[in-house]
Amino acid sequence: MVEATSKILIIDDDPGTVGALRNILEKDGFEVVEVHSGTEGLAKLREDANIELVLTDIKMPGMDGMSILRNIKEMRPGVEVIMVTAYGDYDMAIDALRSNAFDYLKKPIDIDDLLGAIGRFRERRAVRKNFFPSYRVLLLDDEDTQRQFLQRLLEDEGYSVVTAGNGEDGIKIFDREKIDIIVTDIKMPGMSGMEVLYKVKRTNADVEVILVTGHGDQNVAIEALRGGACDYLKKPIDLDELIFALQKAKERLKLERSLKYRNRDLRLLKEMNQATQQPVQ
């Protein structure tokens, strides 16, 4: 079964924080519901059975995050909860983990930490519901016929594919949407494939890039591998080689993400153990 869109509920009394989180989470493929108090949040959970994840601030007027967490776990134990903590709330964050919170994030929220927590949730959800993780491919090529042909091929292989005819448009798509793998020609008008590689790797390491090279581009291809590209393919593209390169990119993403998530699991367990061992003052 292919992974379905997840619905996340954000509970926070700061509209600015909610807006920033919404932008990040919608780009990552979530359907976002937002409320500004614990009471509203619990009401949303009662009426919407499709909400699977809650992101809530710990400190808010009225019902605080710990009360929200306890109510959620009584009402719908299967819903995961990520707590957002301010400076000095560390003990509350540990208490939340002991009360079955899924994770916690510190303010100001680091985007990589947020996406790591979301990734851990998605991995657990996929195992529980027997979903296959979906991978979104961005295909960049200035030759319309080639681009359209490859798009049909990859969609037949089960990939979700978006395309662009140049690097500049590709970067706009990458900034706006969740992309896992980029397949890009090296030589394009304007921004080259190498420039695309360096730009996306500077902003987001959680993406694999496959370069397509023409005759005489071998040195450039080697430079691309050193710059973080997953693989390179020679023109004319061998379709079996393309499918194999995409499979390799998927395996790299899966391994890197799983390692990141396991390290976070171990870190949370260590923090809870350390807090337990601290002497009472």
Residue with tokens 């949303």: 44
Q: What 3-state DSSP class applies to 34?
A: strand
Q: Do 37 and 116 have their domain in common?
A: yes
Is the pLDDT confidence value at 20 over 70?
Answer: yes
Q: Do 205 and 118 have their domain in common?
A: no
Neighbours of 133 (CB within 10 A): 16
188 CB burial (10 A radius; 0-12, 13-18, 19+): buried
Q: Do 75 and 102 have their domain in common?
A: yes
Angle between helical axes of 90-98 and 239-277 (0-180°, round to 10): 110
CA dist 274 and 21 (Å) reads 30
CB–CB of 105/87 below 8 Å? no
At 267, phi and psi to the nearest 5? -65, -45
Q: Do 102 and 65 have their domain in common?
A: yes
CB–CB of 212/193 below 8 Å? yes
147-192 pLDDT per residue, tens: 999 999 999 998 999 999 999 999 999 999 999 999 999 999 999 9
Q: Report if residue 161 sits inside a domain.
A: yes
Q: Domain boundary residue among 131, 149, 175?
A: 131
Distance from the first to the final alpha carbon of the chain = 52
CATH of the domain at 24: 3.40.50.2300
Q: Do 111 and 15 have their domain in common?
A: yes
The residue that leads in pLDDT, 133 or 268, is 268
Is the pLDDT confidence value at 8 over 80?
Answer: yes
Q: Domain boundary residue among 69, 101, 131?
A: 131
Q: Report if residue 268 sits inside a domain.
A: no
26-45 pLDDT per residue, tens: 988 899 999 999 999 999 99
Q: Do 110 and 190 have their domain in common?
A: no
Q: Report if residue 238 sits inside a domain.
A: yes
Split into its structural domains, the chain has a count of 2
Beta bridge partners of 208: 181
Domain encompassing residue 12: 7-131
pLDDT at position 215, please? 65
At 4, phi and psi to the nearest 5? -95, 165
Q: Do 184 and 126 have their domain in common?
A: no
Q: Do 146 and 76 have their domain in common?
A: no
CA dist 105 and 190 (Å) reads 40
Q: Domain boundary residue among 77, 105, 131?
A: 131
Q: What 3-state DSSP class applies to 53?
A: strand
226-268 pLDDT per residue, tens: 889 999 998 899 999 999 999 999 999 999 999 999 999 998 9
Is the pLDDT confidence value at 125 over 90?
Answer: no
CB–CB of 82/101 below 8 Å? yes
Q: Do 155 and 252 have their domain in common?
A: yes
194-234 pLDDT per residue, tens: 999 999 999 888 999 999 987 666 788 788 888 899 999 98
Q: Do 92 and 34 have their domain in common?
A: yes
Q: Do 146 and 120 have their domain in common?
A: no
- Does pTM surpass 0.75? yes
